[in-house]
A and B are shown apart, each in its own frame.
Chain A
Amino acid sequence: MNLLARRDNELPMELERTFPGVDEFIRNIFGPLHNDMLHQHHNWGPVHDLKVGEKEVSLQLACPGHKPEDFDVEITGNLISIKTSCCCEEKHAGENRHYTFKERPCMSFEESLHLPVKVIGGEAKAVYEHGVLHITIPRENKKSTKSRTIKVSCGK
Chain B
Amino acid sequence: MKNEISKENAPEFTTLRPAADVEDTATGVIISFEMPGVKSSDIDIEAGNGMLKIEGKSSLCRRGVPVMFKRSFYISDAVDVDKISASAKDGVVTLNLPKVENAVPKKIKVN
Q: Of A3, A41, A60, A98, which one neighbours B97 at CB under 8 angstroms?
A: A3
Contact of B21 with A by CB under 8 A: yes
How close is A19's CB to chain B, nearest CB, in angstroms? 15
How close is B45's CB to chain A, nearest CB, in angstroms? 12
B83: A residues at CB distance < 8 A: none
Q: B29–A101 contact, CB under 8 A?
A: no
Of B36, B74, B79, chain A has the most CB atoms within 10 Å of the CB of B36
Given contacts A3-B29, A4-B79, contact A62 B37 (CB under 8 A): yes
Q: B37–A131 contact, CB under 8 A?
A: yes
Interface of B is mostly: strand
Q: B36–A64 contact, CB under 8 A?
A: yes
Q: B79–A62 contact, CB under 8 A?
A: no
Q: B16–A100 contact, CB under 8 A?
A: no
Q: B79–A97 contact, CB under 8 A?
A: no
Q: A131–B36 contact, CB under 8 A?
A: yes
Task: List the one stretch of A42-50, A76-84, A135-143, A144-152 in contact with chain B.
Answer: A42-50
A67: B residues at CB distance < 8 A: 90
Using CB atoms and an 8 Å cutoff, list the residues of chain A in contact with chain B: 1-7, 10, 12-13, 39-44, 47, 49, 60, 62-67, 97-105, 128, 130-132
Using CB atoms and an 8 Å cutoff, list the residues of chain B in contact with chain A: 14-25, 28-29, 31-32, 34-39, 52-53, 55, 59-62, 70, 72-76, 78-79, 88, 90-92, 97, 99, 103
